[in-house]
Structure 1
Amino acid sequence: MSMTNSMAPQNGEDWLKGAARAGYAARGLVFIIVGYFSFRAAFASGQAMDTKDAIEVIAGSGFGTILLAAMVIALAAFCLWRLIQVAMDVDNHGIDAKGVFVRTGLLISAFSYGALAVYSVTLLLGQGAGSGSGGKSGVIAYAYEAGFGVWLTYLIAAGMAAAAIAHLVKGVKAGFEKYMAIPSDRRWLLKPVCQFGLIARAVTFVVLAGLLATGAAGYESGETPGIDAALREISSWSFGWLFLSLTGLGLVAFGVYSLAEAMYRRIEMPDVG
């Protein structure tokens, strides 16, 4: 009996670690799809897509129902893992200004992927197909109706800018390595790919922050731009096709970075027994 009790916490920790790794893998798959179609859009008449569009691609693929169900579970698991990172500070970020900043970003990430999991459920139930990514609803739409949507949009823009800085620093300094145990024979390739992915993700955050800040007063319906809008903005620049193709490749690299986290990240779990 005592042996069973002593094993319970370990079993719980193993389950949560597996859930976290599945979540990283799900995020990786989503960004590989987004990056691929963005790269393709740079050389064709196709359109850039966001994470919801990527989920729709998965839903429409062979074995779509099975894959979508797996995505629901994995994204929900990733949301749970983010919340654990925030609440229990398993990565030892601390409670100083930098630690609070990082943990706030993780909390925003938890809500973002939680919302993506909910959207996946609507597709699984046949309620979200064809909705695309144009209409944003929920908190932002309510905020505009209540009269404080502009300020909320500015706040989100500031958060995007902060996230851009964090991703850029993490990419340039390869700060992710202290949380990952990448085998030495694969580090020579994975390290620069992960750095490129993080920097590309930072670029999309910068563009999004700019779009949000400059257009906040015009989002009266709460339809704020997503990653697809950022990619379209990039494509409108001079030599936009080049920047869009590089960003698309970078988002694929970010997806690879997420898959690397699924395999090699050190996941320290609190006692859950």
Structure 2
Amino acid sequence: MGFSLTEEQASAWLLQQPFGPFLLGLVACGVLFAGGVQVWYGALRGYRKRVRLPGQHKRWMDPICAIGLIARGTIFAIIGGFLFYAALTVSPDQAAGTKEALDYVYALPFGRILYGAISLGLMAFGVYSIIEGRYRHVDAPDLDGMRAAAARI
């Protein structure tokens, strides 16, 4: 038996707490920041620090990684915008999740085109996740460093 809240329920609960609109505003800022970091990470190819793409596949993998991260960051930013608006209006009905963010994009002028682009971007993020799982480079600590850390304990 799991317990889960919808975005509206979680926002309503948070808005009922002391300083609730302020707290929801902080959450919104955090989600907006996370979205911005994802867009920045994708646009500047920051993932290359940790993901070692093979040379023969780099030509097609690199754009997929960038597009996927930018699309995910964009969705985060839209969700953060909804949360911030909910905090300003003190209305949990204004809070939204991924479904509402995608519905918002669909309702915009040229929404179907934007919706398709975001959908392709989110599929690219899924492919990026697979690529990252396969090619992520993790620096393992060396044995001397582990011994020195153990000696300090």
User: TM-score w.r.t. structure 2 length?
Assistant: 0.79
Structure 1 residue 206 corresponds to structure 2 residue 77: yes
Aligned to 2:91: 218
Structure 2 unaligned spans of 5+: none
Q: How far off its partner does 1:206 sit?
A: 1.9
Which amino acid is the alignment partner of residue 127 of structure 2?
A: V
* Aligned Cα root-mean-square deviation (Å): 2.5
**Structure 2 counterpart of 1:219, which letter?**
P
Q: Which has the larger radius of gyration?
A: 2
Q: Distance in 2 between matches of 1:141 and 1:266?
A: 42
Query: How much has 1:135 moved relative to structure 2?
Result: 5.4
Give deviations 1:220-243, integer Å, cap 9, x for gaps: 7xx831111111111110111111
Per the alignment, residue 259 of structure 1 pairs with 130
Give me the whole-angstrom Cα distance separating, in 1, the residues matched to 2:32 and 2:41.
Answer: 14
Question: Which residue number corresponds to residue 148 of structure 1?
Answer: 19
Q: 1:196 aligns with which of 67, 82, 87?
A: 67
Query: Counterpart in 1 of 2:115?
Result: 244
Q: 1:134 to 1:176 in 2, by over 3 A?
A: closer
| Aligned CA distance change for structure 1 residues 240 and 134 (closer, same or farther; 3 Å) | same
| Contact kept? 1:170, 1:198, Cα under 8 Å | yes
Q: How many angstroms does 1:143 deviate by?
A: 2.8
1:136·1:224 contact (CA, 8 Å) conserved in 2? no
Corresponding residue for 1:163?
A: 34
Measured at CA, do residues 135 and 141 of structure 1 come closer, stay the same or move farther in structure 2, by a change above 3 Å?
closer
Cα contact 2:72–2:122 (8 A) shared by 1: yes
Q: State the Cα deviation string for residues 164-223 of structure 1 (Å, max 9, x = none).
A: 221122111111011111111111111000111111112112211221112221017xx8
Is 1:233 aligned to residue 91 of structure 2?
A: no
Q: What is the aligned partner in structure 2 of residue 32 from structure 1? A: none
Which digits, 9 at most, give the CA deviation of each residue in 1:28-59, with x for residues without a partner?
xxxxxxxxxxxxxxxxxxxxxxxxxxxxxxxx
Query: What is the aligned residue count?
Result: 141
Deviation for aligned residue 1:252:
0.7
Larger relative CO (CA 8 A, sep 6+): 1 or 2?
Answer: 1
Q: Kindly report which structure 2 residues correspond to 1:113-192, keeping only aligned pairs within 5 A, or say none.
A: 122=1, 127=2, 136-137=9-10, 140-192=11-63
Q: Secondary structure at the match of 2:57?
A: helix
For 1:87-124, what per-residue CA distance to the aligned partner results, in whole angstroms no more than 9, with x for missing partners? xxxxxxxxxxxxxxxxxxxxxxxxxxxxxxxxxxx5xx
Q: Deviation of residue 269 (structure 1)?
A: 5.0
Q: Percent same amino acid at aligned positions?
A: 30
Residue type matched to 1:161 in 2? Answer: L
Structure 1 runs of 4+ with >6 Å offset: none
Give SS of 2:95's match.
Answer: coil
Letter in 2 for 1:254: F
